Chain A
Amino acid sequence: MSVEVVHSSKFGVFAQKLGMTRMFLENKKAVAITLLKVPTAHVLEKKQCDGYSVMKLGITECKGKLNKPQSKHLERMNQPLCKKVKEFRISDQEAAQVGETVGTEWITVGDFVDITGKSTGKGFAGAMKLWNFQGSQASHGASLSHRAIGSTGTCDKIFKQRKMPGRMGQDTITIESQKIVFKDEEQGVIGLLGSVPGKKGTWVNVFKAMKKQGK
């Protein structure tokens, strides 16, 4: 059922991070790459709203539960029971029709993609780790205060946006223009240069690069 997707400036799919490894390019250069699994996604809906068009993609090959309203809705529409559903913006309405599937057909080696995902959570972190503060002295009489934030101001109040210790990580991060260097269409696996936010097994979104065109 898969169709050849017309290259459009906006397109995106789900992907799962498998891990990082090494690859040798043609010029014998060793590069660090990240492998992503792109499962077959079903196009559930297409619509146009607020001046842009979206397609709703769903995948069944993932963990998760469906509650009764969700599953009944998909059943009534004669659609597969997708546990993960998200709307992806597209610029071309003809790209893929409802009922068809989308995989890695729209990606070719040499293309550039943007990856959006959640970075690894680090928990409650001090100001040195979170904001790159300098900390205080290691010696010269310093006692029990080596990684403290120091003074927070001279007036009676603390101004808003003061950088202080707090939760670190778990931010939504987009890494732009990552180059595709490997693709296995049968397994639905792509490999791209560099790293991707999150741990192994994290779900990320792969978009066609906004700023860089593949050759």
Chain B
Amino acid sequence: MHPIVKAFEAKQMEEFRKKVTHPSFKAGDTLKITVDIEEGGKKWVQTCEGVCIARVNKGIASNFTIRRLESSGAIEMRFPMFVEGVNIQVLRRGKVRRAKLFYLKHCSRKAGRIKELAPKRHVAPQAA
């Protein structure tokens, strides 16, 4: 990437980070996303919950994918990381070994469950 293009992206990302701070999350975590939508003079908030199955780190084009199971089938939604109006809340930390959980698409509902990550044990600081 050309240094000027890189700086152009970095500047946009920096300005975004000044306004919004997303919680740290990774694939396997259950997220609650609220999106502020403005269309035709109307404003409303759309909410959706689901498991994060992928995070793509591509500078300003970074995004993540949410997978949610419904009675009619599964729904996947992709959100950009660096746009205002997308608010992320982590509901549950998942215990997974992969960065991309596309295998969940081929799992049955029972097999596609993700265990909750146990909170880290307290480690006593070593004496200096």
Contacts and interface: CB of A to CB of B under 8 A. Distances in A.
Interface string B61-100: 1000000000000000000101111000000000000000
B83 A22 contact: no
Contacts of B80: 30
Interface of A: 18-24, 27-28, 30, 35, 37, 182, 187, 189, 191, 200
B9 interface: yes
Contacts of A37: 4
Interface in B24-57: 38
Given A28-B84, A28-B85, A30-B83, A22 B60 contact: yes
Contact of B5 (A19, A24, A28, A30): A19
Contacts of A22: 9, 60-61
Nearest to A200: B2
Contacts of A19: 1-2, 5
Contact of A21 (B5, B38, B83): B5
Which DSSP category, helix, strand, loop or mixed, fits chain A's interface?
Answer: strand
Q: Which 7 A-B pairs have the closest CB atoms?
A: A18-B2, A19-B5, A22-B61, A22-B60, A19-B2, A18-B5, A21-B5
Interface in B109-123: none
B84 to A, nearest CB: 6
Contacts of B61: 21-22
A191 B8 CA distance: 10
A21 B2 CA distance: 11
A30 B81 CA distance: 11
A22 B85 CA distance: 17
B33 to A, nearest CB: 15
A24 B9 CA distance: 11
Contacts of A27: 38
A30 B84 CA distance: 11
B59 to A, nearest CB: 8
Residue of B2, B4, B8, B60 ringed by the most chain A CB atoms within 10 A: B8
B7 to A, nearest CB: 9
A167 B102 CA distance: 41
11 contacts: A21-B5, A21-B8, A22-B9, A22-B61, A28-B84, A30-B83, A37-B4, A182-B8, A187-B4, A189-B4, A200-B2
B12 A23 contact: yes
Contacts of B59: 21
A200 B1 CA distance: 9
**Residue in A27, A28, A182, A191 with the greatest tally of chain B CB atoms within 10 Å:** A28
Contacts of A189: 4, 8
Given A35-B4, A189-B4, A21 B9 contact: yes
A137 B83 CA distance: 47
Given A35-B4, A35-B5, A187-B4, A21 B84 contact: no
Contacts of A35: 2, 4-5, 8
